[in-house]
Amino acid sequence: MCCVPGEETIDLVANLDTGAAYCLFERSYAEALGLNVERGVPMSFSTANSRFEAYGHEVAISTLDIEVYSMVFFFADANIVKNVLGRHGWLDRLNVGIVDRDRLLYAGAYDILPE
Protein backbone atom coordinates (compact mmCIF):
# COMPACT_ATOMS: atom_id res chain seq x y z
CA MET A 1 0.00 0.00 0.00
CA CYS A 2 1.26 3.46 -0.77
CA CYS A 3 0.03 6.86 0.19
CA VAL A 4 0.47 9.47 -2.50
CA PRO A 5 1.72 12.52 -0.51
CA GLY A 6 4.97 11.08 0.87
CA GLU A 7 5.28 8.08 -1.44
CA GLU A 8 5.85 5.86 1.60
CA THR A 9 5.05 2.20 1.03
CA ILE A 10 4.19 -0.68 3.34
CA ASP A 11 3.35 -4.33 2.85
CA LEU A 12 0.41 -5.84 4.65
CA VAL A 13 -1.87 -8.84 4.58
CA ALA A 14 -5.59 -8.14 4.15
CA ASN A 15 -8.62 -10.36 3.72
CA LEU A 16 -11.05 -9.97 0.84
CA ASP A 17 -14.42 -9.23 2.46
CA THR A 18 -17.28 -9.04 -0.04
CA GLY A 19 -19.57 -8.01 2.82
CA ALA A 20 -17.46 -4.96 3.70
CA ALA A 21 -18.57 -1.77 2.01
CA TYR A 22 -15.12 -0.16 2.27
CA CYS A 23 -11.47 -1.07 2.69
CA LEU A 24 -10.49 -0.86 6.37
CA PHE A 25 -6.99 -1.06 7.77
CA GLU A 26 -5.26 -0.94 11.13
CA ARG A 27 -4.38 2.52 12.42
CA SER A 28 -0.69 1.56 12.68
CA TYR A 29 -0.48 1.31 8.89
CA ALA A 30 -1.71 4.89 8.46
CA GLU A 31 0.91 6.03 10.93
CA ALA A 32 3.60 4.03 9.10
CA LEU A 33 2.58 5.84 5.91
CA GLY A 34 2.99 9.18 7.67
CA LEU A 35 -0.73 9.96 7.67
CA ASN A 36 -2.42 11.86 10.48
CA VAL A 37 -5.40 9.54 10.96
CA GLU A 38 -7.80 12.14 12.39
CA ARG A 39 -7.21 14.51 9.46
CA GLY A 40 -8.99 12.05 7.19
CA VAL A 41 -12.67 11.89 6.30
CA PRO A 42 -14.53 10.71 9.44
CA MET A 43 -17.06 7.89 9.11
CA SER A 44 -18.99 5.71 11.54
CA PHE A 45 -19.36 2.02 10.75
CA SER A 46 -21.79 -0.53 12.16
CA THR A 47 -21.61 -4.30 11.95
CA ALA A 48 -23.88 -6.99 13.36
CA ASN A 49 -22.06 -6.86 16.70
CA SER A 50 -20.08 -3.61 16.89
CA ARG A 51 -19.82 0.05 16.04
CA PHE A 52 -16.57 1.90 15.36
CA GLU A 53 -15.08 5.07 13.91
CA ALA A 54 -12.57 5.30 11.07
CA TYR A 55 -10.96 7.99 8.93
CA GLY A 56 -10.65 7.93 5.15
CA HIS A 57 -7.50 8.75 3.21
CA GLU A 58 -6.65 8.50 -0.48
CA VAL A 59 -3.95 5.88 -1.09
CA ALA A 60 -2.69 3.60 -3.83
CA ILE A 61 -3.24 -0.12 -3.29
CA SER A 62 -1.11 -2.61 -5.20
CA THR A 63 -2.31 -6.21 -5.35
CA LEU A 64 -1.13 -8.89 -7.80
CA ASP A 65 0.62 -6.22 -9.94
CA ILE A 66 -2.63 -4.21 -10.14
CA GLU A 67 -2.51 -0.69 -8.70
CA VAL A 68 -5.65 1.31 -7.85
CA TYR A 69 -6.13 4.65 -6.12
CA SER A 70 -8.81 4.53 -3.47
CA MET A 71 -10.33 6.18 -0.45
CA VAL A 72 -9.62 3.68 2.31
CA PHE A 73 -10.38 3.93 6.00
CA PHE A 74 -8.11 3.48 8.99
CA PHE A 75 -9.59 2.50 12.36
CA ALA A 76 -9.60 5.27 14.95
CA ASP A 77 -9.06 2.66 17.68
CA ALA A 78 -5.48 1.33 17.65
CA ASN A 79 -6.69 -1.86 19.38
CA ILE A 80 -8.60 -3.05 16.31
CA VAL A 81 -6.32 -5.48 14.50
CA LYS A 82 -7.98 -6.23 11.17
CA ASN A 83 -7.38 -5.43 7.50
CA VAL A 84 -10.04 -5.93 4.85
CA LEU A 85 -10.36 -5.16 1.18
CA GLY A 86 -13.98 -4.20 0.59
CA ARG A 87 -16.30 -3.44 -2.29
CA HIS A 88 -15.76 0.32 -2.62
CA GLY A 89 -12.19 1.20 -3.43
CA TRP A 90 -10.90 -2.25 -4.30
CA LEU A 91 -13.36 -4.91 -5.42
CA ASP A 92 -15.26 -2.43 -7.62
CA ARG A 93 -12.03 -1.78 -9.52
CA LEU A 94 -11.29 -5.41 -10.41
CA ASN A 95 -12.68 -8.32 -12.36
CA VAL A 96 -12.69 -11.19 -9.88
CA GLY A 97 -13.36 -14.90 -10.23
CA ILE A 98 -13.50 -17.22 -7.21
CA VAL A 99 -13.37 -21.01 -7.35
CA ASP A 100 -14.19 -21.85 -3.75
CA ARG A 101 -13.79 -25.61 -4.07
CA ASP A 102 -10.21 -25.21 -5.34
CA ARG A 103 -9.45 -22.17 -3.14
CA LEU A 104 -8.50 -20.10 -6.19
CA LEU A 105 -8.86 -16.38 -6.80
CA TYR A 106 -8.51 -14.85 -10.24
CA ALA A 107 -8.16 -11.07 -10.46
CA GLY A 108 -7.56 -8.55 -13.21
CA ALA A 109 -7.85 -4.80 -13.59
CA TYR A 110 -11.28 -3.53 -14.51
CA ASP A 111 -10.57 -1.27 -17.47
CA ILE A 112 -13.21 1.35 -18.00
CA LEU A 113 -13.33 2.54 -21.60
CA PRO A 114 -13.46 6.32 -22.11
CA GLU A 115 -16.79 7.65 -23.35
Pairing assessment for the beta strands 15-16 and 84-85 based on DSSP bridges: parallel
Question: What is the rounded distance in angstroms from the CA atom of residue 30 to the CA atom of residue 33?
Answer: 5
* Burial of 94 from C-beta contacts in 10 A (0-12 / 13-18 / 19+): middle
Domains of the chain, by residue range, sit at 2-109
Q: What is the pLDDT of residues 2-59, one digit of tens each?
A: 555 557 888 899 998 989 999 999 999 999 999 999 999 999 999 888 999 999 999 9
Q: What is the pLDDT of residues 48-97, one digit of tens each?
A: 889 999 999 999 998 878 888 899 999 999 999 999 999 999 888 888 78
Largest separation between any pair of C-alpha atoms in the chain: 45
Question: Does the domain formed by 2-109 have CATH 3.40.50.880?
Answer: no
Report pTM: 0.83
